[in-house]
Copies of this chain bind each other. A is one copy, B any other.
Amino acid sequence: MDGVTHTRTTRLERGRGALGPALELVHTGRAPTRAVLTSELGVTRATAGAVAAELEALGLITVDAHPTAAAGTQGRPSHRLFIADQGPVVLAVQIHADGYRVALVGLGGRIVATTSGCGTIPADPAHILAEAVRAGSGLLRDSGRQCLGAGLAVPSAVAEPDGEALNPLHLAWPAGAPVRALFLQALADAKVPGVTEHVGFSGNDVNLTALAEHRHGAGRGARDLLCVASGHRGVGGALVLDGRLHSGSSGLALEVGHLTVNPEGAPCHCGSRGCLDVEADPLAFLGAAGRTPGPEGSLLKQATDLLREEYADASVRAAGELLIDRLGLGIAGLVNILNPDRIILGGLHRALLEADPERLRAVVADRSLWGRSGGVPILPCTLDHNALVGAAELAWQPVLDDPLVVLESERAG
């Protein structure tokens, strides 16, 4: 019953008019001036002007007073559109193996302030979430900005609709921890101003990386974007379709770690052997290079350092090429199924791509069915703290859907 109601209410919820699309264009950096806003929205100059004026009145963007003519252009120069300097922000929280990081993120994915806490990996998720939210609340107080929502990134699959972390592998958390609820509770306890209604979104960190890169990084402009990344253990995937994260009907899509990439490979806890998870993560790379993981630094750091600094070494190079081949096989399988128009790689996979871009592209083209036709562009991630920015995107989404919610938030806060 509630499920039905939900699909219904979202059916025609296209926000009010062109405000949302306009803000999204500015947000993603695709509307530097009112002129291009006009053409991007496909509306008349009159409407684009009105919409820009309204966004300015809402305190979300600013218009420069004295436009400078771009060289070599005719006609009246465009007034440029900027994201408001002291505009509202959202609170983003990322939990990872070594602790947490929180940030205030403005429109355009701009990190306004950030801090982190590390060392403590408590088995109690409520505890670290509360600590992180308290830190964020402090940042918010210091900044004096209006806060419109909050988002959380965790290194685990997150099941919808309840927001439970199903496999918080390298956090000492219980499987099925209700992270969304705990996050909301922590926000309520800390009385973070402004985060009363449109708050509390959580997601897998690879998903959020993909979302952030799609809007502000290497994935900008792609329609169907596939992201594959390996952070600590295992391999994660994410897919952005038509500007929206596709997380599947229960938020569990793109669990790509168990694609078979080496039939004679190592056994995997899933019962199969040669899964991407055990063949193309940092531990697999260190093992293939004949190194044993040291106590210093994360597995990811040890692996990427090795890859970047000792790629001349024959054993390291051989290990790199082995992993590239395995990864390429997995990506090719995904290309056959998803046919994305761009692929971006994060974590260890980004380092593998940068170590030998041509090899990876060749493997993917060779093993994907229609690879001949040009092949899919494969790019490294470009943003700092992309999962954090992605968590912020979740929180921004209601505002992008209908910018007028900031008015309600102002009334409330």
Residue pairs across A and B with Cβ atoms less than 8 A apart, 27 shown, are A8-B40, A11-B41, A12-B18, A157-B370, A159-B370, A223-B249, A224-B249, A241-B246, A248-B339, A249-B340, A250-B339, A250-B341, A250-B373, A251-B339, A252-B369, A252-B370, A253-B337, A253-B339, A255-B339, A256-B337, A258-B369, A259-B333, A259-B337, A260-B263, A270-B369, A271-B367, A334-B337
- B255:A337 contact, CB within 8 angstroms: yes
Does B11 contact A370, Cβ atoms closer than 8 Å? no
Chain B residues lying within 8 Å of A251, measured Cβ to Cβ, are: 339
**A247 interface contact, C-beta 8 A:** yes
A247 and B339 contact, CB distance less than 8 A: yes
Among B246, B258, B263, B264, contact of A336 (Cβ-Cβ < 8 Å): B258
Judge whether A73 is part of the interface by a CB distance below 8 angstroms: no
Counting contact residues on chain A (CB < 8 A from B), the size range is 35 or more
A123: Cβ under 8 A from any B Cβ:
no
Q: Could you tell me the distance between the alpha carbons of A18 and B333 in the complex, rounded to whole angstroms?
A: 40
- Which residues of chain B are within 8 angstroms of A223 by Cβ–Cβ distance? 7, 249
Residue from B43, B159, B224 within 8 A of A248 (CB atoms): B224
Which B residues are in CB contact (< 8 Å) with A122?
Answer: none
Q: Which residues of B contact A255 (CB under 8 A)?
A: 336-337, 339, 369-370
Number of this chain's copies in the complex: 2
For the complex, give the distance between the alpha carbons of A248 and B242 in Å.
11
- Is A217 positioned at the interface, with any CB of B under 8 Å from its CB? no
B260 and A260 contact, CB distance less than 8 A: yes
Instruction: Name the CB-closest residue of B to A376.
Output: B249
Closest-by-CB residue of B relative to A167 is B369
A69 within 8 A of B: no
Q: How far is the CB of A253 from chain B (nearest CB, A)?
A: 4
| Set of chain B residues within 8 Å of A258, measured between Cβ atoms | 333, 336, 369
Residues A336 and B41 in contact, CB atoms below 8 Å apart = no
> In this assembly, does A127 line the interface, its C-beta being within 8 Å of a C-beta of chain B?
no
Which one of B7, B9, B252, B338 lies within 8 Å of A339 (CB-CB)?
B252
**A200 interface hit (Cβ, 8 Å):** no
- Distance to closest chain B CB from A7 (angstroms): 7
Chain B, Cβ-Cβ closest to A14: B14
Q: Give the complex CA separation of A85 and B247 in angstroms.
A: 41
User: Which A356-381 residues have a C-beta within 8 angstroms of B?
Assistant: 367, 369-370, 373
Contact A341 B249 (CB under 8 A): yes
